[in-house]
Amino acid sequence: MTRKYGQGVALAGALLLSLSLSACGSDAPAAPAAQAPASAAVPVTKPFTGLRPTSVEIPKIGAKSSLITVLPNKDGQISVPSVKNPMQAAWYRLSPVPGDVGPAIVLGHVDGNHKPGIFFKLKDVNPGDEVDIERSDGKKLKFVVDHKDQVPKDTFPTQAVFGNTDKPQLRLITCGGVFDHAEHSYQDNIVVYANLVS
């Protein structure tokens, strides 16, 4: 069954923009996003019994994690896994299930709790590298990286990340660039774009 996400692009983009404005690593408290309290980085995980991704692996960088599901917080920001467990990645449940048409969103920390995070080496991923996703129905999907971008958080490419696609795609997102100690946040986001190949 194919789901369309066109109407949710603006909402999802606004939510991800909120994520891009909050901390996604480090041990400092999250800097508040516009109109959001500093507590916005507290993860919201809900039991989800529908089809979902259960793990992500990027062999080139030695990254492998189970996937928890995350939703927006009450203030509209996408929640992220706790920095106390920076090796935990998350699937944004309002994005397509990997393998469905559209851009599935997987989030992870670059660092946290004085340790590297699951996406610490995401900046080292290159076109042609493999990303493996396992789903709750037992399917193992292979995505291949098309390209990656490092973008300032204040110019996050909402349409490129969340816009409709005519095929199953994957987006991997973390923080990057320089850490701004005054804002307790990295200045950039790293976004990896990948296409389903099998």
DSSP character string of 94-160: TSPPBTBSEEEEEE--SEETTEE-TTTTGGG--TT-EEEEEETTS-EEEEEEEEEEEEEGGG--HHH
What domains can be seen in the chain, in order of their start residue? 6-196 (2.40.260.10)
Q: What DSSP state is assigned to residue 26? A: S
- Cβ atoms 90, 69 nearer than 8 A: yes
pLDDT at 64: 99
pLDDT at 100: 97
pLDDT at 34: 29
pLDDT at 149: 97
How far is CA 7 from each of CA 14, 74, 99, 145, 147, rounded to the nearest angstrom? 13, 20, 20, 26, 26
pLDDT at 75: 84
pLDDT at 49: 66
Beta strand 111-112 with 115-116: parallel, antiparallel or unpaired? antiparallel
pLDDT at 88: 98
How far is CA 81 from each of CA 32, 61, 86, 94, 159, rounded to the nearest angstrom? 17, 20, 7, 16, 24
In this prediction the pTM is 0.80
pLDDT at 79: 86
pLDDT at 123: 98
pLDDT at 42: 39
Q: What is the pLDDT along the chain (198 residues), one digit of tens a residue?
A: 444 444 454 345 544 444 443 446 655 443 333 232 333 343 444 556 689 999 999 999 999 999 999 999 888 888 889 999 999 999 999 999 999 999 999 999 999 988 999 999 999 999 999 999 999 999 999 999 999 999 999 999 999 998 999 999 999 999 999 999 998 889 999 999 999 999
pLDDT at 10: 38
